[in-house]
Amino acid sequence: MGIKTVRDIEVAGRRILVRVDLNVPLEDSRVTDDTRIQAVLPTIRYLAERGGRVVLCSHLGRPQGGVKETLRLRPVAERLRSLLGGNVGYVPQCVGPQAAEAVGQLPPGGVLLLENVRFHPEEEKNDAEFARALASLAEVFVNDAFGAAHRAHASTVGVTRYLPSVAGLLLERELEMLGKVLHNPRRPLVAIMGGAKLSDKMAVLGNLLDRVDLLLIGGGMAATFFLAQGLRVGRSLVEPDRVQYVAGVMEHARQRGVPLLLPTDVVAAEEFGRDARHQTVDVAAIPDGWYIMDIGPRTIAAFKEALADSGTVVWNGPMGVYEWPAFERGTRELAQTLAGLKNAETIVGGGSTAEVVQALGLAGRMTHVSTGGGASLEFLEGRALPGVAALKQHVAQE
């Protein structure tokens, strides 16, 4: 991996600044999904149980560089406190005298959550003085925020210039599992790509195409593939400027001998709405003016059969408008199929795909569900993540 982790440093008695990703949904000042909080508990417990003074920092939402009361981290601290059994403090500042005093009073094994770092515009600018102020609170830095590792911010990159720096246990696992997809997958390697827009996934497609043994395409992005084949797609979202690219992808797959499976039937709706009139049709018979909303039952069956002998499956993007019950079947059945694979490693990209498997209660049956939407995409594109690169440049010497 090229970086050290929390296992490589002395912990007892030291003030340890831990960048975590606690960007969780809130409703009426309550955490409604604590998946990301749960994901960083192993690192927090590891440090606290060894006598570290654990200082957590995170962002929440997009406050645009100013204080926004609804985006304070106090509700997150309360949820952390309930999960860790108490001993979690909170301070409504992330730098300055109040934060420094709270850190100074932190006992060995104690945990303190600082306020939302994005209340300061300097955070997203990777401002050196703001990074230095954060770093002054601690003696060592741990990055366990994979979901923010693709951002070159003060709390992910800047602080590494002032503190010995290592990876947390979550970041380590993310890099290990996603890295296996690119460098050492169990074969056959299958990539499932979905979601609304092809342009969001082009770089991933390009990087995976020479690595996979099978490629399945679904979701709204399939419409541009249909267009490249000369099919009519009604009023479905398409990207005509990407048709030539898609044609190149299909030809490249053909030359490599990699099967590229597209939907053969879809669920089409008269309007783009939750309760719109809809029907299952062949992809060659999409009615004029209708919208592609999901993959159809024939496609679901073909995808299931294709996945049966997989060694590794990486999935990013739903198969349709899964938020609406009439159009969730393709995404749900695909998730259930992956959860039921006996001999495959199943790796689910972050963002909406992770939300699907969490909502279906299937996350525990996947090999790995990434906590980073944008970060997992950029990693699978083969791009260096600034937060990870910074750890490699500023390795802790113990």
Is 395 a residue whose pLDDT tops 70? no
Q: Tell me if residue 304 is catalytic.
A: no
Which of 4, 15, 19, 36 is the catalytic position?
A: 36
pLDDT of the residue at 87: 83
Q: What is the pLDDT of residue 396?
A: 58
Residue 2 is predicted with a pLDDT of 73
Which candidate in 74, 197, 211, 365 is catalytic? 197
Do 43 and 131 fall within a single domain? yes
pLDDT of residue 1: 57
Do 165 and 293 lie in one domain? The reply is no
Give catalytic status of residue 125 as yes or no.
Answer: no
* 276 assigned to some structural domain: yes
Q: How far is CA 67 from the centre of its chain?
A: 26
Whether residues 156 and 193 fall in one domain: no
Q: 354 lies in a domain?
A: no
Whole-number Å distance between alpha carbons of 385 and 1 = 13
Residue 145's pLDDT is what? 98
Give the residue-averaged pLDDT of 155-178: 97
Mean residue pLDDT across the chain: 95
Q: What is the dihedral of CA 94, 98, 102, 104, to 10 degrees?
A: 110
Catalytic residue among 351, 372, 373, 387: 351
Mean pLDDT, rounded, for 340-356: 92
- Is 4 a residue of the active site? no
Compute the chain's Rg from CA coordinates.
23
Is the residue at 71 inside a domain?
yes
3-class SS at 280?
strand
Domain, as residue range, for 268: 187-343
Selection from 129, 132, 134, 128 nearest residue 115 by Cα: 134
pLDDT of residue 270: 97
In CATH, what number is assigned to the domain containing residue 80? 3.40.50.1260
Active site residue 197: yes
pLDDT above 60 (res 8): yes
Q: Taking the model in full, what pTM does it have? A: 0.92
Least confident of 85-89, 138-142, 225-229, 358-362: 85-89
Predicted pLDDT of residue 307 = 97
How many other CB atoms sit within 10 Å of the CB of residue 356? Answer: 24
In tens, the pLDDT along 179-211 reads 999 999 999 999 999 998 888 889 999 999 999
Does residue 180 lie within any of the structural domains?
no
